[in-house]
Amino acid sequence: MDKTTKTKKAQDQGILRIEIEKAILNRAGLNQSTNTDHDSLLRLVSATNEAAELCTRLHRDAVHQARRAEIPWSEIGAEMGITRQAVQQRFAPEEMLQTQATDIRTIPGATAFNEMQILEHEGKAGYHLVGFGPLYLTVKASNQKWEHRRLFSFNMTEELNFMEKDGWTYVGSWFPFHYFKRVVS
């Protein structure tokens, strides 16, 4: 990495840090005029803990989305500055939970590129999305036809309100995607 690239990366990290700090301070209800009293500092610790846990989940979700898009472990590791083996050991999904219910199926091979086509086909056959993970979808049988939507959104609160008003049911999120379903009328 040349000097200009390193400088740009450091500047970008500085901007990101400031944005994260603002979000944490806002979450803790703190601002520049807030005293650093006992309760304020504890709120700051709590908000920072929440942010760290959320960032860890977002990081894992981003890696899993990259894998669902069939990006090799080696490229993901290179982006993170670690080896393929290290990123794979750290982020490879746990064994998929096996279900004994006959009306629930796990569909392997789902990627960010083909999952919506799979869900369209399954929805027409009466199956609706109940879970997902790296390279798989879990669907459940019903006696109705379903449609599914995947949104890429940073303001989930607004999107959730809009989608629910339009009859959609929230299934779950996997950064940066949000999944919804509804019965076809």
Q: What is the pLDDT of residues 129-168, one digit of tens each?
A: 999 988 999 999 999 999 999 988 776 777 777 888 889 9
- Tens-digit pLDDT profile for residues 56-86: 888 988 888 888 888 999 999 999 999 888 8
Task: Flag the least confident range among 13-17, 46-50, 94-98.
Answer: 94-98
What would the mean pLDDT of 94-104 be, rounded to a whole number?
51
The pLDDT score that the predictor gives to residue 101 is: 45
Question: What is the C-alpha separation between 87 and 150, in angstroms, rounded?
Answer: 27
The pLDDT score that the predictor gives to residue 149 is: 94
Scored b (16 or more CB within 10 A) or e, 12-47 reads: eeeeeeeeeeeebbeebebeeeeeeeeeeeebbeeb
Cis bond before residue 176 (omega within 30° of 0) = yes
| 108: confidence class by pLDDT, cuts 50, 70, 90 | very high
The pLDDT score that the predictor gives to residue 129 is: 96
Which pTM was predicted? Answer: 0.57
- Tens-digit pLDDT profile for residues 24-50: 888 888 877 767 788 888 988 999 999
What would the mean pLDDT of 77-97 be, rounded to a whole number?
77
Q: Comparing 10 with 108, which gets the higher pLDDT? A: 108
The pLDDT score that the predictor gives to residue 106 is: 92
| 98: confidence class by pLDDT, cuts 50, 70, 90 | very low
Q: Of all helices (H) and strands (E), which one includes residue 185?
A: none
The pLDDT score that the predictor gives to residue 94 is: 53
Residue 182 has pLDDT above 70, yes or no: yes
Task: Reduce the DSSP state of residue 98 to 3 states and report it.
Answer: coil
